[in-house]
Structures are given as structure tokens and as C-alpha cells.
Amino acid sequence: MNIRDNWGRLAPATQKWLIENPGCQILPRTITSIISKETGADPATGQHGEMALSQEDHDFIRSKASRIHST
């Protein structure tokens, strides 16, 4: 699953969490579950339900965060 491609499907609260935590490389299972419900996607998860972000996702979230924090 790709965060960039699903960004518009995420609730504002989920987007806000991601933007407020731009350094997070592994999403907690709670956030992973929310993203799965909001997007309808079944992301690859670890044994505890966490989801590792790809470098592309990480860069995308950081760019979103830097735009918001610079305004």
C-alpha cells in the first residue's frame, strides 16, 4: 500500500497524525488499522499489526509536514 496514492482517502485526523509524526518509520497497529479501514486496502503488517513505511511514503509525509510547518 502506498500512502501517497491513498492520501485523499485518509480522514483529516489520520493525515494530521501522519504529519505530526513525520519521523515515524513504523506505524503503530492502531494507525495501521485506521488506514486500512479508511482506504479499504490491506497493508502488509508485522506480527504485531504494525506497518513499515516505504522510503517513498516517508519522503511524502515529510514533504507534507514541511509544507504545513513552513506556512
Instruction: Cell 504485531: give the residue.
Output: 48
Give pLDDT tens digits along the chain (71 positions): 899 999 999 999 999 999 999 989 999 999 999 999 999 988 777 788 889 999 999 999 999 998 886 65
Q: Which of 46, 27, 45, 34 is nearest to 9 (CA)?
A: 34
Q: Which residues pair with 52 in a beta bridge?
A: 26
The model's pTM: 0.87
